[in-house]
Structures are given as structure tokens and as C-alpha cells.
Structure 1
Amino acid sequence: MSQHDDKRRRLLGRLSRQFAYTAPVLALVAGGAALQATAGNTSTEAGFAPVSEAALLLASSNAVAEGEAEGEAEAGSSAEVRRPDGYTPDYSETDENPQELLARGEELYYDTSLSTNGLSCASCHGSDGDDVGYKATFEQPFPHQVAMASSQFGMPEVHADEMVQVCMVAPMAAEPLEWGGEKLTSLAAYMVEVQKRFAGEPHDL
């Protein structure tokens, strides 16, 4: 296979994954808008709360994740998201990371410009310490199992930086971040602390 054919295959795969994530969001948003339009002010009277965009995004993310577990999503190339040979991360998954690294990681966690579809990490995983959209395996220290990495990329467990890359390529429909670069290092360090917070352990956030 030529380099051109390989790039074309990876691009088509990424577009396919982007559609898999975007379509449920559009369907849910449209459904929520229709529900609110027909229900009017009677929704709260009947005991139903208005459907927020964040809730729709989370529901979409969870629905797609469940679909992936059943083999509905096209598998991607683990070479895009797996640590390259000879790579040594500039953050720690076991020791403390510098506060400036965590602060930068938190900024990037909310940065929609990292994606091609307007999503940020917070779109699916909550904000202001409200950690949502994680499965029970996220309570385990890195490396650990992540359903999306397993179902889409055939990776039984991932490090924090690999998990970031999986999210960049799949739901955020973007190119992987530079290995060893400031963005990936900061986000990975921040996610190490998020994992500790999610597990109810002492953390530096």
C-alpha cells in the first residue's frame, strides 16, 4: 500500500468515526428541541426538566460508547494513539506533577479549538469538578482499561496520554497531539489528577 493510499484510508476512517459521534448528537439535539417545542411550558408541570445541551452531549457519548462495545464502530489504527517506540513522557502517573503543568492542562480541557467539531474534553466529561462520562474502570490508576480504546483501537489498557490521543482522534475528530509536546503532556498530567479525584483519592486539583 502506498503512502497516499494509507493516508486516504486513515482520513476515511477518521471521517467515519466523526460521523459516528456527530450523528447521535444531532439526533438527540433535534429530538430534544422537538420535545421542548411540543411540550411548551407543560414539561416542568408534568415533572420533566428541560433537556440541556450538556446532557444531550453526554447521552450521545454514552450511547456511542455502548455501540462501540457491541462492535458497531469501525476500528481505528492504534498507531495513531499508542505511545511510539522510544517515547518517554514528560509527566508522571505515579508522582506529583508541577502545578503549572496541571493549570495548563485544565485550560486545554475546556479548549474547543483542539477539535474539529466544537467539542472539548469537558463536553463529555463535565466541568468544575463534576466528573461524568467515565466508566468504573476509570477508578483504577493509569494504565487502565478504557472502553473506547479497547473497542476502536484494540488496546486492552492505556496510559493517560494515550487516552487523550484516543479522545482527540475519535470523539473530537482531530489529529493526535504531538507526542512529548506541551499540549499532550499538560492534558495527560491533568487527567492523572482527574482520575484520582474520580476515585475519591487525594489529588492536586
Structure 2
Amino acid sequence: MSYNNDDNRRQLLGRLSRRLAYTAPVLMLAVGGGAALQAAAEGSLSQAGKAAMADLSEESWLLASAHAEGGAEAEAEAEGEAEAEAEGEAEGEAEGDVSDVQRPEGYSPAYSEDGENAPELLARGEELYYDTSLSTNGLSCASCHGSDGNDMGYSATFEQPFPHEVAMARDQFGMDKVHADEMTQICMVAPMAAEPLEWGGEQLTSLAAYMVEVQRRFAGEPHGL
């Protein structure tokens, strides 16, 4: 095929490149193969044949270019979507559900953060502090924070009375300060990989009361342990 008018030819090629961009490699093979077979059969090409092949070569090159550009754009778009999805998943994994660990509306704690908790409540809290059955991975509170009064794994902010800042609460749940029961819930759902304890229940109340005294001991203040 040949054209006397170069502008008409280029307009046609433009339409072909848009419609057939993704079939360009096949077209190139077909055109190239057909031309080669024709040349082999005839042994030589006329001047008109050479001109036709030049036209076809230009068409093939334009179509291949359109195909390459379209493929590169599609690949770049796919990579961008994959990166955005990966970032979104990573952010989702770094954030916890604050409703699991934050005091619910209408909740009233059955322990005191002023250090006025009954000895039996503290004794029960100490039992639970060492209880690995509260977790799903074999951990207890003592696994991370020490036993027999050897307090460890606390930041300097733990020297402050409740409510105070806790790095895990800030980083994973967006909470600036936490009460003792909220800190207990955070330890339950994060490092101990368990369900939060019942708000106002015996286990959460006892553990929170016990942690109030641990905080006092860590800060070097009088405590009931």
C-alpha cells in the first residue's frame, strides 16, 4: 500500500496506532514475514515494491512505538497502584483498634488510681500478672515486665502516676495518655495477642489495681506490694 499524500498517510497511521497498539508485534511479524517471502519468491523487488516495503516498515515502526509507550504507561500505573496498596496495608498493620483498649462511654472503674485498693484485689491482680493463660502466645505480663519486684520494660514515663503517656498506646492506638486499665488492655491485645478483658470485670479490675502499685514501686514511692 502507498499513498501520494503524506498527511493522509500519517493520519491513517495515527488511527491504526491507537486501535492496534497492543497487536503491533504480531503485525510486525506478519508484515516482515510477508515481505521476506515475497522477496524470496520473486528474487528481486521493483522500485515500487521497495517503496511499498518502506511504507510498511514505517507503519510497523510507528505501531511498535505506540505499543511500547502504551505498555510502559500501563506498567508504571500498575506499579504505582501496587505501591499505594502496600503502603495502605502497612499503615493498617501499624494501627490498632482504639475501641478495644479505650474506656467505653459510661464505664466507671472499680479500682482506684490513688492507691487505695483492697489487699485481696492486689493479690488477685498479682496472680493474673503471672498467668500465661490470658494470652494466646504463652506470654504473661511478667514475661515483658519482670517478676519478683524486678520491674523492667517500662519507659521513663511510667514514673508518672496514671493516667500517663505510654509509647505503645501513642504509636499503635494514637492515645496521648492512658489509665491503668487501658494500659492493661493494650498489653492484652498487642504483645499478648488476646482479646481485651471485660470492662469492669474481675480480671481487668484486679490487674489494673495491681499495676497502680507496680507504678508506685517503679517510681520509688510507697506501695502496697
**TM-score, L = length of structure 1:** 0.65
Give the secondary-structure state (helix, strand or coil) at the position aligned to 2:191: coil
8 Å CA contact 2:115, 2:213 repeated in 1: no
Does residue 89 of structure 1 match 2:109?
yes
Give the secondary-structure state (helix, strand or coil) at the position aligned to 1:94: coil
Q: CA RMSD in A?
A: 1.3
Amino acid of the structure 1 residue aligned with 2:95: A
Which one scores higher on RCO, CA 8 angstroms, separation ≥ 6? 1
Please name the residue that 2:128 is paired with: 108
Aligned with residue 196 of structure 2, among 176, 189, 200: 176
Aligned with residue 136 of structure 1, among 139, 151, 156: 156
Give the secondary-structure state (helix, strand or coil) at the position aligned to 1:108: helix
Identity %: 78
The offset of 1:77, in angstroms, is 1.1
The offset of 1:72, in angstroms, is 11
The offset of 1:147, in angstroms, is 0.2
Instruction: Give runs of ≥4 in structure 1 deviating > 4 Å.
Output: none
Does residue 197 of structure 1 match 2:187?
no
Cα deviation per residue 1:37-85 (whole Å; 9 max; x = unaligned)?
xxxxxxxxxxxxxxxxxxxxxxxxxxxxxxxxxx896111111100000
Question: Number of paired residues?
Answer: 135
Unaligned runs of at least 5 residues, structure 1: 1-70
Larger of the two Rg values belongs to structure:
2
Q: State the alpha-carbon separation in 2 of the partners of residues 127 and 94 from structure 1.
A: 23
Does residue 153 of structure 1 match 2:173?
yes
8 Å CA contact 2:115, 2:212 repeated in 1: no
Give the secondary-structure state (helix, strand or coil) at the position aligned to 1:150: helix
Does residue 79 of structure 1 match 2:79?
no
Which structure has greater helix proportion?
Answer: 2
The offset of 1:157, in angstroms, is 0.5
**TM-score, L = length of structure 2:** 0.59
Unaligned runs of at least 5 residues, structure 2: 1-90
The offset of 1:95, in angstroms, is 3.9
8 Å CA contact 1:73, 1:152 repeated in 2: no
8 Å CA contact 1:149, 1:166 repeated in 2: yes
Aligned with residue 118 of structure 1, among 108, 120, 138: 138
Cα deviation per residue 1:87-111 (whole Å; 9 max; x = unaligned)?
0000000141000000000000000
Amino acid of the structure 1 residue aligned with 2:126: E
